[in-house]
Amino acid sequence: MILHTKANHRDLLIELIRTNFKLRYNNSILGFFWVLMKPFLYFLMLFVVFTAFRGGEASAEFGANLLLGIIIYTLVNEGVIFGMHALTDLAGVILKVNFPRQVAITSAVFMAVVNFAFNTVILLVLAVLGSFAPTLEGLLYFLFILSMTIFALYSISLFSSILLVKIRDLHHIMELVMQLVFWGSAVFYSIDDMSGAFGQIIRLNPLALIIHASRRALLQGDIIHVKAMLFMTVMTFVLYFLGSLYFRKNIKRIAEFI
């Protein structure tokens, strides 16, 4: 019986992911290609601009660092936004069908993960052109950081999905917050170049540390910020525990607000 229930939940998750994809790219000329186009256009724009500021000097290392930063930020940005809208986007289904509401959160965050997987294709092409080859230790460390980040996005969504149902302005607030996060997350620069009080503030941003550690792990094989990553992992589990309690306590009352 338990196995049957788990199979049903898995099938529902797959169906919700398919539905999300269809709804998100319906009536779009390029359709799913926007998944690849958006980060690539960001990369191209920033690469051209900052290459000009560097006196026209461009390097494969700078390009790889920039692209990886954009891809990771895109994962976090989409994970936050998709997860926050998980319940409101599926309001019609949630009000009619009885199923664990956490599945809706999982499908939304998984959408961002799938987009991330496709975006890494661009990074792999650039890695081949620039002759970058991650070490086994660096790759495993990156996968650990990635897993922790995805789990954190899910945990955050347990709170934000409920809050959005009650406070619709949260959508606009979060878009502004994520723009500020972009400029403060070392997406197009390295925190090694930041000094003084501003550099200290940047280093307090978890996403800046995640991007920096991911770059060094994948492109140079270095294992850095281990204590910070372990601390963030512990805090993510705490966030998940609190988020699960908050979600279970409030999910039954969302019909009043949807």
- Closest CA relative to residue 247, chosen from 168, 184, 166, 163: 163
What type of residue sits at position 185?
Answer: S
Asked if pLDDT for residue 251 goes beyond 70, the answer is yes
Rounded to whole angstroms, the Cα distance separating 258 from 253 reads 10
Are the CB atoms for 185 and 205 separated by under 8 Å? Answer: yes
Q: In the chain, where does DSSP find H-type helix? A: 2-25, 33-53, 60-84, 86-89, 91-94, 102-129, 136-166, 170-183, 196-202, 206-215, 226-250
What's the token pair of residue 59?
A: 């390097």
* Mean pLDDT in residue range 246-254: 86
Phi, psi (deg, nearest 5) at residue 185 = -115, 15
Average of per-residue pLDDT values in the chain: 83
113 Cβ neighbours under 8 A, 6+ residues apart: 75, 79, 150
What's the token pair of residue 241?
A: 């525990």
- Closest CA relative to residue 243, chosen from 115, 153, 167, 142: 153
* Mean pLDDT in residue range 200-210: 92
Give the chain's length: 258
Print the domain residue range for 114.
2-256
Domain count of the fold of the chain? 1
Tens digit of pLDDT for each residue in 136-160? 999 999 999 999 999 999 999 999 9
Are the CB atoms for 258 and 94 separated by under 8 Å? Answer: yes
Query: What is the largest distance, in Å, between two alpha-carbon atoms of the chain?
Result: 66
Are the CB atoms for 258 and 95 separated by under 8 Å? Answer: yes
Residue whose tokens read 């204590």: 227
- Closest CA relative to residue 21, chosen from 32, 12, 13: 32
Question: Which of 41-55, 130-144, 217-231 is least confident?
Answer: 41-55
Tens digit of pLDDT for each residue in 78-111? 999 999 998 888 777 776 667 778 888 999 999 8
The end-to-end CA distance of the chain, in Å, is 32
Are the CB atoms for 64 and 130 separated by under 8 Å? Answer: yes
pTM of the model: 0.87
What's the token pair of residue 198?
A: 């501003």
Higher pLDDT pick, 104 / 133: 104
User: Percent helix, strand and coil across the chain, each rounded to 5?
Assistant: 80, 0, 20
Rounded to whole angstroms, the Cα distance separating 153 from 131 reads 32
